[in-house]
């Protein structure tokens, strides 16, 4: 069957091996039969026609930076690698949009937009290594979501190859439009299970003329969430509001020789942006300062980057201590302190070190389960992760805020959605992919 | 069959007549067999179970203010009137959200949110008379969309009764979440064809602390669109940017005895909001002033309302001159002047007076076809409307920005979506409504 594939396929074991997994660390042991490095939508269509006729699973892949097993290869599958479709086709400064191929690295798009005083707002932590196609497939979030929304909010239209090789356009180049059901939103976050995204028209937004950044330390996490809640209660709208817990700060101190823990047991970083950044920051400072003995505010971009670096240092620091399972629950903002308390209890019960960082502006928590070096994701680990999911659901939240369901969270999906909605999802999947060739076993 | 319906139904001709049409002015002559005034989700489920078993069409209705025939009753249908389900169930200031029943009048929600320093951002022109359920069913827009998005961007989750009477929840109370396909976005804008929305969790946003408003007159429409484009090119993000053409200004002068046309042939209103409103308005003024000899800027809310009143006066003034067909195309912002030129030509060719107002911030134009009193929507009117749609599509736009497809635009839908996408839409519809009882003949 591989002989039918378009140019640019490989069955070399080393090539297959390099495209078999993602960054979740999860390995179910499946081996793909080939990798196709598609260079055009026509090649994608050709692969899908062949696979669909044959019933061969197709696992679409960008940079493989996903954290939920969404791009992990099924046994016997064709891995459809889109990383070579990496052209920025158009940037329209007048219409504040870009047309891109799926393999464009997200920060490359942001940088290209910057030349026009624009930016691509969604900024997952992986922005420098992940592709826009992968971001769309998972509806990726990031730091700026509270103000600028998630990936879905920046996607105007998609160019999609369906399972049977037909190519369709969804959405439009206009900001508004209600002709037909919202297929664009259906494809965003569908994790390669409904079609293969071969192009996207995305919204660009004005790059902020100014930013102001606050960093504060607190005696405990509850005080830090209280401060974040006070910012919301003052009806302010920061672009970024990030929290780190004690375990994160300890890990950074260990790794980098800093003394953050001496300053507090929780860290809050808030950034305002836009023409009102300074005025808004004055108001942020006024509500945060009474709750923290250690507040710094800057409008200097270089100093702001240094403060943001503390947030960015957390994950690499934790990874030095062992293998990490990066979780991704979200709860209503009012329940963040409850969620962290529940996570701490799960850490104590399970004996697993759990660090928590959070996008405080939208209640999205990343509990990081840090396992001893060499320890697998054994059943005890999944039990602890399951308890985290259940805690989030009990607080009115979700088991995935921005990373996706992939392989890793499928068994908990029905707990969140209920059986009727899961049934509907499967019927929708069948409309787009009747032979179930597209990323089977993922998402639904 | 009506004897099986829950309490609160009527077959009285006067009651039926009052709920047979919407505000599009379009009357295909169908007569419903009953109206049910549902007061709870359970009653809605009961109606749908009966109708589904029986194959009776169900036309769901809020306030009937739609402009595309979406709520126009099918012959022999049950009209499901949800206007009595009008409770604001919850406002959470901490989580910046509200839980509402579908019959809540949109401005009532906005007012209730105001008590907490919040607001419900989407503001269709019908905000004081339309329901939130209707707004969700059409994915309504409004003046503030360019900055705050359309209705979809403010809906976090839905409570929906399916065609067979099952009740499901979609989405969540959290800002982010990617568990399952985005059913919420699928129901938003589905015009009553996929399920009946019996509740919604909507996002509230901080009410702006300040606004600044600019009103300017221009010698012609091209100059006004050039000014609007200059605001965008300066990478500014007004909350409101509205344009009125010469025909609108003439009508207002006629109706209200003003002398707007003496000041120019096109009117632009721009409002900035938030903590940076003044700074941003200084920048707006700097780019608009060189293009207009008549610019006023105010930060006084009372004066701002007076300036906005000019925009609001346009439609009532046009309605004095005859029956109106309110159209709703959107084009990429860079093509607005081209769209207006095309619309003017269609007016000349058809001999129909066409006024154009536009949400300049998102390229959404409302060409208003003003017919002589007593003239029906005859085939010449539809020909002219069809030419407007074709012009919008030729410019890379859409035939409906925010009013929906309803009955009136169905025949042009395939021109925009193409046959493959229309097929997919119909298959999706069949998943949710296999017996095709929900608002048949609308949307798809």
In a domain? residue B439: no
A117 CB neighbours in chain B (<8 A) are: 235
The pLDDT, as a whole number, for residue B400 is 95
Residue with tokens 């539809």, as numbered in its chain: B382
Distance of CA B282 to the CA centre of its chain: 31
Mapping DSSP onto H, E and C, the string for A167-196 reads: EEEEECCCCCCCCCCCHHHHHCCCCCCCCE
The pLDDT, as a whole number, for residue A374 is 87
User: Does one domain contain both B189 and B94?
Assistant: yes
In a domain? residue A291: yes
User: Does one domain contain both B100 and B140?
Assistant: yes
CATH assignment of the domain containing B395: 3.30.70.2740
> Who's near A21: CB < 8 A, 6+ residues apart?
A27, A64, A72, A73
CB A88 within 8 A of CB A120: no
B401–A174: do the CB atoms touch at under 8 Å? yes
A274 CB neighbours in chain B (<8 A) are: 237, 274, 276, 280
User: Does one domain contain both B330 and B371?
Assistant: yes
User: Does one domain contain both B106 and B164?
Assistant: yes
In a domain? residue B441: no
Final residue in a domain of this structure, among A187, A206, A225: A206
State chain B's maximal CA–CA distance in angstroms: 69
A334–B95: do the CB atoms touch at under 8 Å? yes
The mean predicted confidence, pLDDT, of chain B is 96
The pLDDT, as a whole number, for residue A1 is 65
> Considering only CA atoms, which of A359, A436, A440 is closest in space to residue A407?
A440
User: Does one domain contain both B263 and B373?
Assistant: no
User: Does one domain contain both B356 and B294?
Assistant: no
Length of chain A: 444
DSSP-assigned letters across all residues of A335-386: GHHHHHHHHHHHHHHHT-EEEEEEETTTTEEEEEEEEPTT----HHHHHHHH
A439 CB neighbours in chain B (<8 A) are: none
CATH assignment of the domain containing A56: 3.30.43.10
Q: Is B385 left (phi over 0), alpha (psi -120 to 50) or beta?
A: alpha
Q: How far apart are CA B15 and CA B22, in angstroms?
A: 14
User: Does one domain contain both A70 and A131?
Assistant: no
Q: List pLDDT tens digits, range B317-349.
A: 999 999 999 999 999 999 999 999 999 999 999
> By percentage, how much of chain B surpasses pLDDT 70?
100
**CB atoms closer than 10 angstroms to residue A16:** 17
> Which residue of chain B comes nearest to A174, CA vs CA?
B332
> Which residue of chain B comes nearest to A204, CA vs CA?
B235
User: Does one domain contain both A326 and A410?
Assistant: yes
In a domain? residue B124: yes
CA distances from A425 to A66, A299, A413 (A): 22, 47, 11
The pLDDT, as a whole number, for residue B220 is 94
Tokens of A362: 């939208």
In a domain? residue B103: yes
CATH assignment of the domain containing B197: 3.30.465.10
CA distances from B270 to B8, B243, B290 (A): 46, 9, 15
Q: How far apart are CA B1 and CA A45, in angstroms?
A: 51
The pLDDT, as a whole number, for residue B3 is 72
In a domain? residue A443: no
CB A37 within 8 A of CB A83: yes
Percent composition of chain B: helix, strand, coil (DSSP 3-state, to 5): 40, 20, 40
The pLDDT, as a whole number, for residue A50 is 95
> Considering only CA atoms, which of B136, B124, B17 is closest in space to residue B82?
B136
Grouping H, G, I as helix, E, B as strand and the rest as coil, residue B90 is strand
| Structural domains of chain B, count | 4
Tokens of B212: 């600044």
Q: Please name the member of B93, B362, B431 whose beta carbon is closest to the beta carbon of A428.
A: B431
User: Does one domain contain both A58 and A117?
Assistant: no
The upper half-sphere exposure of residue A178, i.e. CA atoms within 13 Å in the direction of its Cβ, equals 31
User: Does one domain contain both B102 and B72?
Assistant: no
Radius of gyration of chain B (CA): 22
Chains A, B: CB pairs < 8 Å:
279
Does B374 have pLDDT greater than 90?
no
Instruction: State the pLDDT confidence band at B196, using cuts at 50, 70 and 90.
Output: very high
Q: Please name the member of B94, B363, B418 whose beta carbon is closest to the beta carbon of A232.
A: B94
B174–A427: do the CB atoms touch at under 8 Å? no
The pLDDT, as a whole number, for residue A253 is 97
B183–A424: do the CB atoms touch at under 8 Å? yes
The pLDDT, as a whole number, for residue B1 is 65
Which of the two residues, B5 and B73, has the higher pLDDT score? B73
**CB atoms closer than 10 angstroms to residue B377:** 17
Percent composition of chain A: helix, strand, coil (DSSP 3-state, to 5): 35, 20, 40
Q: Is A98 left (phi over 0), alpha (psi -120 to 50) or beta?
A: beta
Q: List pLDDT tens digits, range B114-144.
A: 999 999 999 999 999 999 999 999 999 999 9
Q: Work out the angle at residue A383's Cα, subtended by the Cα atoms of residues A382 and A385, and round it to the nearest 5 degrees.
A: 60
CB B5 within 8 A of CB B45: no
Final residue in a domain of this structure, among B60, B81, B102: B81
B362 CB neighbours in chain A (<8 A) are: 174-176
**What is the span of the domain harbouring residue A279?**
209-313
> With a cut of 50, which residues of chain A have pLDDT below it?
none
Distance of CA A360 to the CA centre of its chain: 15
In a domain? residue A237: yes
Q: How far apart are CA A70 and CA A402, in angstroms?
A: 13
Final residue in a domain of this structure, among B297, B317, B337: B317
In a domain? residue B230: yes
The pLDDT, as a whole number, for residue B146 is 85
Q: How far apart are CA B279 and CA B269, in angstroms?
A: 17
Q: List pLDDT tens digits, range B396-410.
A: 999 999 999 999 999
A400–B179: do the CB atoms touch at under 8 Å? yes
Residue of A69, A124, A181 best to disrupt the B interface, most CBs of B under 10 A: A181
Q: Is B126 left (phi over 0), alpha (psi -120 to 50) or beta?
A: alpha
DSSP-assigned letters across all residues of A204-267: -EEPPS-EEEEEEEESSHHHHHHHHHHHHHTT---SEEEEE-HHHHHHHHHHH----TTT-SEE
User: Does one domain contain both B289 and B329?
Assistant: no
Instruction: State the pLDDT confidence band at B214, using cuts at 50, 70 and 90.
Output: very high
> Who's near A61: CB < 8 A, 6+ residues apart?
A19, A71, A79, A80, A81, A82, A83, A134
Q: How far apart are CA A410 and CA A427, in angstroms?
A: 17
Beta strands in A259-348 (DSSP E): 266-273, 294-298, 323-326, 329-330
> Considering only CA atoms, which of B344, B24, B70, B329 is closest in space to residue B191?
B70
User: Does one domain contain both B424 and B333?
Assistant: yes
> Which residue of chain A comes nearest to B408, CA vs CA?
A179
Q: What is the DSSP letter of B398?
A: B
Q: How far apart are CA A307 and CA A263, in angstroms?
A: 14
């Amino acid at each position: 069957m591989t002989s039918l594939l378009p140019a640019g396929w490989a069955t070399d074991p080393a090539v297959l091996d390099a495209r078999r997994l993602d960054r979740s660390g999860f390995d179910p042991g499946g081996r793909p039969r080939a990798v196709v490095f598609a260079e055009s939508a026509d090649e994608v269509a050709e692969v899908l026609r062949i696979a669909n006729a044959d019933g061969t699973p197709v696992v679409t892949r960008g940079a493989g930076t996903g954290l939920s097993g969404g791009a992990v290869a099924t046994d016997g599958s064709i891995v459809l690698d889109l990383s070579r479709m990496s052209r920025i086709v158009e940037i329209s400064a007048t219409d504040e949009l870009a047309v891109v191929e799926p393999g464009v690295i997200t920060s490359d798009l942001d940088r290209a937009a910057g030349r026009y005083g624009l930016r691509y707002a969604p900024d997952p932590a992986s922005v420098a290594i992940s592709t826009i196609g992968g971001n769309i497939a998972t509806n990726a979030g990031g730091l700026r979501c509270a103000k600028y929304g998630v990936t879905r909010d920046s996607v105007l239209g998609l160019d999609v190859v369906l399972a049977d090789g037909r190519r369709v356009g969804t959405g439009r180049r206009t900001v508004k439009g209600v002709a037909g059901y919202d297929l664009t939103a259906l494809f965003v976050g569908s994790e390669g299970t409904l079609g293969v995204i071969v192009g996207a028209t995305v919204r660009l937004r004005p790059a902020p003329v100014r930013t102001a950044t606050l960093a504060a330390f607190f005696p405990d996490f509850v005080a830090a969430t209280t401060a974040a809640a006070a910012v919301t209660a003052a009806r302010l709208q920061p672009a970024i509001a990030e929290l780190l817990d004690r375990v994160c700060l300890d890990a950074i101190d260990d790794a980098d020789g800093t003394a953050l823990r001496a300053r507090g047991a929780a860290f809050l970083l808030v950034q305002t942006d836009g023409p009102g950044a300074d005025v808004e920051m004055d108001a942020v400072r006024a509500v945060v300062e009474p709750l923290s003995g250690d507040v710094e505010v800057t409008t200097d971009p270089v100093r702001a980057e240094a403060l943001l670096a503390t947030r960015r240092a957390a994950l690499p620091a934790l990874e030095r201590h062992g293998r990490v399972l990066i979780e991704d629950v979200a709860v209503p903002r009012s329940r963040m302190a409850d969620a962290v308390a529940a996570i701490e209890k799960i850490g104590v019960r399970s004996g697993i070190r759990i660090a928590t960082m959070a996008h405080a502006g939208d209640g999205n928590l990343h509990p990081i389960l840090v396992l001893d070096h060499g320890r697998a994701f054994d059943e005890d680990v999944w039990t602890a992760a399951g308890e985290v999911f259940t805690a989030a659901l009990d607080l009115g939240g979700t088991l995935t805020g921005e990373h996706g369901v992939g392989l890793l969270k499928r068994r908990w999906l029905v707990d969140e959605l209920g059986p009727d909605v899961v049934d509907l999802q499967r019927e929708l999947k069948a409309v787009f992919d009747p032979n179930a060739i597209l990323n089977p076993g993922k998402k639904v």
